[in-house]
Amino acid sequence: MTERPFRRAVPIPADQVDYLIATAARAPSVHNTQPWRFKVSRYKIELYADLRRKLRVDPLGREMLISCGAAVFIPASYGPDENSEGHGCSREDAGLPW
C-alpha cells in the first residue's frame, strides 16, 4: 500500500458547497425519502441521517443508511476541477476500479 501525500485543508468555496450538496441531493434513496441532512463548515460538509425520515418498513434503518452512503459517494466520486483547489477526490482516491 502506498502512502498518499498529506493535503493541507483549504476552505471549500461557497459555489462548490452549493454544487456538492445539490449533487448529493440527487442521489438515489429508499422510496425517494432523501433521509439526510447536511452540516456545512469552512473545511467540510457533513452528512447526517435524518431519523424523522426513516420508514416503518425499514425498522433497523439499513436502507436509510444505504441511501446516505449514496449521497456521500456521488459527489465524492467527482474529481476536482481546475477551480476546486483540490476538493473532491479522484476515482483512484475513491477506490473505484474504472
- 92: in domain: no
Assigned domain for 25 exists: yes
Stated length of the chain: 98
Asked if residue 18 belongs to a domain, the reply is yes
β-strand partners of 45: 40
50 within a domain of the structure (yes/no): yes
In the block, cell 473505484 appears at 96
CATH number for the domain including 47?
Answer: 3.40.109.10
Which tens digits make up the pLDDT trace of 14-52? 888 888 888 888 899 989 999 999 999 888 889 999 999
Average pLDDT over residues 56-67: 93
Question: What is the span of the domain harbouring residue 76?
Answer: 14-86
Q: How many Cα neighbours within 13 Å face the side chain of 52?
A: 2
Count structural domains, the chain. 1
56 assigned to some structural domain: yes
- Read off the pTM: 0.67
Q: Is residue 22 part of a domain?
A: yes
Please state whether beta strands 36-40 and 45-49 pair in parallel, antiparallel, or not at all (unpaired): antiparallel
76 is written with which cell numbers? 465524492
Confidence of residue 78 (pLDDT cuts 50, 70, 90): low
